[in-house]
Copies of this chain bind each other. A is one copy, B any other.
Amino acid sequence: MSKAPAHAVDFATWTAQVQQQIESALAAVLPAASRAPARLHDAMRYACLDGGKRVRPLLVLAAAGVAGADVRASEQAACAIELIHAYSLVHDDMPCMDDDSLRRGKPTVHVEFDEATALLVGDALQSLAFELVSAPGLLPDARVQLELVHTLASAAGSRGMAGGQAIDLAAVGQTLTLPELEMMHIHKTGALIRASVRMGALCGPSSPDLLERLDRYARAIGLAFQVVDDVLDTVAPTATLGKTAGKDAEANKPTYVSLLGLSRARELAESLRADALSAMHPLGPPANRLVELANFIVNRQF
């Protein structure tokens, strides 16, 4: 994976392969549903398996490819990021947060199980993510592996994803400026996307220059991802999204569309894509998957 070979599969085939690989890897790292406490483990598997675009794992593996990283290590890092993402969705869907009943076309965890179980599922998924990235010998250099753990922990916490959720909560019914909206998303979605790219790169030999260049890419697509989410929340039907459409507008939450209008929000996504691609340009063919992912994130219809 360190170089893009001439016979590389096309993007759609590659994403399908990675999604399958991550599905199998998650199924292996999540405790069996038969193992006590069975209901908790069953609900953890329900929350993580059989669904999702696996955008963050795709980013981990694409960045790992650029760095010529070890496949097993980057797969475990990808699983850890996906567990953090999955836990945040489970908690975010709970009645005291977004109170959502549909996720990836299925009943949310607190609906399918119960609220207490949903709470514990999120808590235990977060712990499991850190168990994975701290596994003995995952990377040959233990100091780099500690950096992997530290990157994930910072991205998940109060100055990362959880902080973004708190800013989001405080924003309901408020009029935000564009910089304030950006600040919210840099935390809420951006932190974990940046961590995905960085963690993938840390799984292989990465110069500070490469890490910096990848981070420029990640900051741009992290924001683009959210802008496109807001656009899709406005224009896509619920059945396509696999979650309830129009929820944000209904909840009177500020979005890029409510602030900029549909047309300028789409322009912003395009301009962020251009930023991401320009950061990748000097890397040539090894960065092809990252380029394709930037295009996918901006062009997606779901």
- A residues bordering B, Cβ < 8 Å? 31, 36-37, 39-41, 44, 87-88, 91, 94, 96-97, 114-120, 122-124, 126-128, 130-131, 134-136, 141-143, 145-147, 149-150, 152-154, 156-160, 162-163, 165-167, 169-170, 183
Known: A97-B119, A131-B154. A126 touches B126 (CB 8 A): yes
Cβ-closest chain B residue relative to A92: B119
Contact partner, A123, options B41, B44, B91, B183, Cβ 8 Å: B91
Q: How far apart are the CA atoms of A242 and B36 in the complex, in Å?
A: 33
Q: Which residues of B contact A130 (CB under 8 A)?
A: 130, 149, 152-153
User: Which of B97, B146, B157 lies in contact with A127, CB distance below 8 A?
Assistant: B157
Contacts A124-B166, A127-B156, A134-B149 given; 12 further ones with Cβ under 8 A?
A119-B119, A123-B126, A126-B127, A127-B153, A127-B154, A127-B162, A128-B153, A128-B158, A130-B152, A134-B153, A142-B142, A142-B145
Copy total for this chain: 2
Residues of B within 8 A of A119 (CB): 91, 94, 96-97, 119
Interface of A, helix, strand, loop or mixed by DSSP = helix
Contacting pair B158 A40 (CB below 8 A): yes
Residue pairs across A and B with Cβ atoms less than 8 A apart, 22 shown, are: A31-B159, A37-B163, A37-B170, A39-B170, A40-B158, A91-B120, A119-B119, A120-B169, A123-B126, A123-B156, A124-B163, A127-B154, A127-B158, A128-B157, A130-B130, A130-B149, A134-B134, A134-B149, A134-B153, A135-B150, A136-B150, A146-B146
